[in-house]
Structure 1
């Protein structure tokens, strides 16, 4: 099956924000990088090339993936401590932290990768500010919400992927080579199986969610897409049976890096924790064992008051499982750099 392509041109980027109308790329901005004690990090001053890539942790599930000249923003949430989000009927939450940088300070971007349509992943400020032509890859449900004609300003460049559907993003490099990113939707489930899941399917209180397989590589004449690095992003899922399809889909291929959404998010709230809708520390380690990535980076663990399973719980479970050497802990504003195989 041919994978659809989403053409990108780094010299004619669509502006991220509505109030920025100049269509040509702005000068590249260097994101602030804090020093980190989590080795091994390549020298942060290394000149970008088609084999260099990085993940920059902004906060919550918001990260910036940079590879060659491609930049992808995941689950944009730029609210500040004290701001509130609506998460469903009768459910709201207060942010406890600040993002590492603000929305307006982002460098030029190519794509938003949105796991699901929840305000802690696509907040009101982002929705109001983002250019309606900016490309977004997300779930079919989120696409329907973002492009609905009932909206005052519907989004016009949204691509909805069901589980195991893919899009490929080719981009020409200055040296004449072509880098590429392939995005494939992976299974995820916000609500545990059982009666509650059946009820939720009927009333739609908690939206469907995707995980993502992001493959970085190159396209070569006559050889197609050559993968050089695989990143699995769990999305806001629980440890549900559907996740067993991921190693089956990979068929022995290796995950280099996993970004796992933790927090043990509870609804309707921390004082009435009736239902957990994201992984806690125990489930996060179970996912590590299932997917078996070389490196895991935990995110989405303490930014909102509905998250009651903090990073300390995950660290304890990682130590207990003997997996400490395979986890990198990033603070907000820190970056993990890696090489993409040629």
Structure 2
């Protein structure tokens, strides 16, 4: 059994995200260009203290307690191309809500897999090599392996159901040397399959054209400091975010609610689009969920709120967002879905403080 790993992040002493940046600090005042704010469709008490900002494709910023997590960074523009496998390219159809160099200070990156539409070449060339990245074992090898010419030095890999605690190390005088609650974020790798089971998966295992992928469970909550200092090991989870990653609806996903033991998922970010290889005109292989599979995942996970992402940014998507909306409406789930356009933000409350 893998022991719990820990990563300490201080929003007041951040590492620079980009190679050409100076170290961000508490004076960073960069604001995201928020076009519209959404809240819980079931109603709001106007006490939201956390948010998800949608940049485009699978790129979001999750923010709570001053900590910002950037997911699957892709900042290419309309007309740019990415390489997705032998002989397979995709063209971006949209622009991101904000450019890479315009981001506010970020604390870590959560990378579901090593694919250019989730970690593009611009990002790879521009990022500071000491910046913290949490990702799959395969992506860690690609980013920091011995064959890498300019390796990343702070890559943390999580397999399925392996976890890491992100400690938010603000210098809070009320907790210094005493007993109390301190905010933490627990990140756990979740199962995902980018290639359907069967002969094609066996072939992919040999040629490694499509990389392995993770989903994620992000638990926002509080840890209890012991009277003598240190962490008591107990975490009070206030809010759970499940990110599907680039997966199909496969049997392995059914293990997730079993592991949660009826603990609810508050928010689900679902990767849709029905990505097809080599293209929608020649749909030989589907590698992400389409509308029907996305609805099945909602029914399996039963989240309070679902936000679809990764659905129209590249020309390899076969299943448009309108298909998902139709399925959701037909099955009566429409009151539990929030649709974000690029540049829009969903705000929510994390109980427990």
Q: Same fold (TM over 0.5)?
A: yes
Offset at 1:35?
Answer: 2.6
1:74 matched residue in structure 2: 71
Give the TM-score of the pair, scaled to structure 1.
0.95
Q: Which residue of 1 aligns with 2:29?
A: 28
C-alpha displacement at 1:151, in angstroms? 2.2
Residue aligning to 1:206: 210
* 1:208 to partner: Cα distance: 0.1
CA distance in 2, matches of 1:95, 1:26: 35
Q: Deviations over 1:234-277 (max 9, x none)?
A: 00000011101111111110000000000000001122110000
Is the CA contact (8 Å cut-off) linking 2:40 and 2:305 kept in structure 1? no
Query: Following TM superposition, by how much is the alpha carbon of 1:135 offset from its aligned partner in structure 2, in angstroms?
Result: 0.3
Partners of 2:112 and 2:27 lie apart in 1 by 27
Give the Cα–Cα distance (whole angstroms) in 2 for the partners of residues 147 and 102 of structure 1.
25
2:249 corresponds, among 239, 249, 253, to 239
- Whole-Å Cα distance in 1 between the matches of residues 151 and 38 of structure 2? 44
CA contact (8 A) 1:26 1:108 kept: no
How much does 1:206 deviate?
0.4
- TM norm structure 2: 0.92
- 1:138-196 Cα distance to aligned partner (Å, 9 max, x none): 00000000002222210000011110000000113445452100000000000000000
Q: Structure 2: how far apart are the matches of 1:22 and 1:214?
A: 26
Is the Cα–Cα contact under 8 Å of residues 257 and 294 in structure 1 kept in the other structure? yes
Contact 2:39 2:347 in 1 (8 A): no
Q: Distance in 2 between matches of 1:98 and 1:27?
A: 25
Measured on the aligned residues, the alpha-carbon RMSD in Å equals 1.7
2:161 — aligned with what? 164
Aligned to 2:101: 104
Q: Does 1:291 pair with 2:295?
A: no
Aligned equivalents of 2:38 and 2:350: distance in 1? Answer: 22
Shift of the alpha carbon at 1:202? 1.2
State the match for 2:122 in structure 1.
125
State the Cα deviation string for residues 116-143 of structure 1 (Å, max 9, x = none): 0000000000000000000000000000
For these two proteins, the number of residue pairs brought into alignment is 337
**1:2 positional shift:** 4.7
Cα–Cα, structure 1 residues 23 and 52, in superposed 2: closer, same or farther, change >3 Å? Answer: closer
> Per-residue CA shift, 1:96-133, capped at 9, x if unaligned?
00000000111111110000000000000000000000
The 5-angstrom pairing of residues 1-342 of structure 1 reads 2-22=3-23, 24-35=25-36, 40=41, 52-173=49-170, 174=172, 176=175, 177-221=181-225, 222=232, 224-342=234-352
Return the offset for 1:329: 0.3
